Structure 1
Amino acid sequence: MILESVENGPLIWPTVEENGVIRTKKYAELSAAEKIKVDCDMKATNIILQGLPADIYSLVNHHRVAKDLWERVQLLMQGESLHTYYLRFTQLINDMNIYKMKMEQFQVNTKFLNSRPPEWSKFVTDVKLVKDLHTSNFDQLHAYLKQHELHANEVRIMRERNQDPLAFIANQQMTPPYFNHYQSSYNNPQWYQISIQPSQCASI
């Protein structure tokens, strides 16, 4: 239920009619199941906040809805190093264990991989093919992905530059020869595939 709070949003508080006026129920008036849901919403928010670095925490600690908080954190944490993400994920798993939240190893590994930003998609697919997510742990997945962090960062840089056609053209005019080698490698479908959003096609 804590995970559901993060993925699907909090309890929609029920209402009650009193003296012809409709109002939101108080906590004491909720059913047992509804109280559990509210408690899980609060725990989900606390777990996320406890795993954040101070600079990110200061930007999101006003959020009280776990789903909104998590989506905001994902945006703010784009571009963080793999090691920083690994430490944050480890803290999150540790907090879950404190709350006695048990997840299958496959679930933990899937969450670890699927939370990586788009530039990691090719390498995430690779690790899913070579590693058994039922028996491996996310420490091993981190070690595998670490070998490809340089390439993932290069993909992110190219993607960010390509989002603005004018910036891309200007960059092309100033790009040193050695960078063209990397650029040509991105066009090689054998190791990398880039997905272009419809909005980007329209802008191009």
Structure 2
Amino acid sequence: MTTLTDKAILSGAENRPPILENYMYDSWKSRMELYMMNRQHGRMIIESIENGPLIWPTIEENRVTRPKKYFELSATEAIQADCDIKATNIILQGLPPEVYALVSNHKVAKELWERIQLLMQGTSLTKQERECKLYDEFDKFAYKKGETLRDFYLRFSLLLNDMNIYNMKLEQFQVSTKFLNTLPPEWSKFVTYVKLVWDLHTTNIDQLHAYLGQYEFHANKVRLMHERNSDPLALVATKVLNSVRHGVAARSSLTL
């Protein structure tokens, strides 16, 4: 069954090239290929990008070899020549101004395509460095004091999204366990319940966030209680207040 998202993608493919946004290269590349395939002679456009433009045929005239003029091309050659130009134009139309300025000097679609990939993904070395950094961020991901459950969930989701861009695969159990184990102590009761009852091999963080969100009020109450009990000044103040109350009560009873 075609989803609303699929329809939106296909609709976009019919109207205009997808724009490279937020440097989300992998998703843009997939949508751009879909867009090209939906154009007339789409396979020839893709061919131009993957294998380069038409090698312009030559003709011998008066014992001199020269490139054919456009009107001298065969029907297939003329279509490929047109697709070479279309491929370049489609790619350029899908670029934001800052990227366009860096690559617009490339007129051959294959060279343009490869240049954009290099800009977005870097060389294999820089890509490897980025992957190492993301794995390190995942390992060290921690709850920030004072943030809400939603803020925590959004930060974790953004990290996972960055990792998905580089096709960095993590097991679902690994992701769900990391999400739960990183929550602060006030969530321990609810985290323990989830670990005992839920199958973390099939549960994603969206489901965990939706479930835990129902108990954020209770978790906050536990946190406030822990903070009061762990604050020496608060404990002293509580003892003094209780002493004063007991003293007032004792004097009242004597008076009576």
Structure number, greater radius of gyration: 2
Compare the two structures and name the one with the higher helix fraction. 2
TM-score by length of 1: 0.49
